[in-house]
Structure 1
Amino acid sequence: MRKSLYRLTLRQMQVFQAVCRSLSYSRAAEEMSLTQSAVSQQIRQLEELVGQGLFEYVGKKLYMTEAADSLLQASGDIFARLDSLDMSLTTLQGSLQGELRLAVVSSIQYLTPHLLAEFRQRFPQVSFRLEVTRRSQVIQRLQDNQDDIVLMGLVPEDRALEFFPFLNNAIIAVAAPSHPLTNQPSLALAELETQCVLQREPGSGTRKACDDFFVQRRVHLQHTMQMGSGESMVQGAAAGLGIALVSEHSAAAFLRNGDLVRLDFTELPLYRSWCAVHARGKRMSPVAEAFLAYLREERASIKRIAARFTVKG
Structure 2
Amino acid sequence: MELNQLETFLAVAEERSFSRAASRLHRTQPAVSQVIRKLEESLGEVLFDRAARDGSLTAAGTLLHDYALRLMALRREATSALGELKSLERGRLHMAANEYTCTYLLPAIDEFRREYPQVTVTVQRMLASHIPDELNLRTFEMGVISFRPDPEQFRTIAVYGDSLALIVSPQHHLAGAGRVSIADLGNESFIAHNVASPLRRKVIEAFQRYRTPLNMDIELPTIEAIKRFVSMGNGVALIPHLTVARELETGELVAVAVAELEMKRVLRLVHRRHGTLSYAATAFLRTVRALARRTGPPFYYHVEKSA
Amino acid at match of 2:286: A
Q: 1:261 to 1:196 in 2, by over 3 A?
A: same
Structure 1 CA distance, aligned partners of 2:82 and 2:201? 40
Answering whether residue 200 of structure 2 is matched by residue 191 of structure 1, we say no
Unaligned runs of 5+ in 1: 1-84, 307-313
Structure 1 CA distance, aligned partners of 2:220 and 2:247? 17
Answering whether residue 196 of structure 2 is matched by residue 200 of structure 1, we say no
Match of 1:105 in 2: 98
Partner SS state of residue 294, structure 1: helix
1:176–1:238 contact (8 Å) kept in structure 2: yes
Partner SS state of residue 162, structure 1: strand
TM-score (norm 2): 0.60
Between 100-109 and 142-151, the greater mean CA deviation after superposition? 142-151
1:105–1:138 contact (8 Å) kept in structure 2: no
Answering whether residue 237 of structure 2 is matched by residue 244 of structure 1, we say yes
Amino acid at match of 1:284: L
2:168–2:236 contact (8 Å) kept in structure 1: yes
Structure 2 CA distance, aligned partners of 1:301 and 1:87? 33
1:185–1:264 contact (8 Å) kept in structure 2: yes
Structure 2 CA distance, aligned partners of 1:302 and 1:96? 27
Between 203-212 and 227-236, the greater mean CA deviation after superposition? 203-212
Q: CA RMSD in A?
A: 3.3
Amino acid at match of 1:237: V
2:168–2:235 contact (8 Å) kept in structure 1: yes
Unaligned runs of 5+ in 2: 1-78, 300-307
2:88–2:119 contact (8 Å) kept in structure 1: no
Q: 1:158 to 1:118 in 2, by over 3 A?
A: closer
Answering whether residue 90 of structure 2 is matched by residue 90 of structure 1, we say no
Q: 1:128 to 1:197 in 2, by over 3 A?
A: same
Q: 1:131 to 1:186 in 2, by over 3 A?
A: same
Match of 2:214 in 1: 222
2:160–2:297 contact (8 Å) kept in structure 1: no
Q: 1:184 to 1:297 in 2, by over 3 A?
A: same
TM-score (norm 1): 0.59
Structure showing greater radius of gyration is 2
Q: 1:122 to 1:220 in 2, by over 3 A?
A: same
2:182–2:210 contact (8 Å) kept in structure 1: no
1:1-313 alignment to 2 at 5 Å?
A: 89-90=83-84, 94-95=87-88, 97-138=90-131, 141-156=134-149, 160-211=153-204, 214=207, 218=210, 220-224=212-216, 225-267=218-260, 269-296=262-289, 298-303=291-296
Identical pairs, percent? 20
Partner SS state of residue 118, structure 1: helix
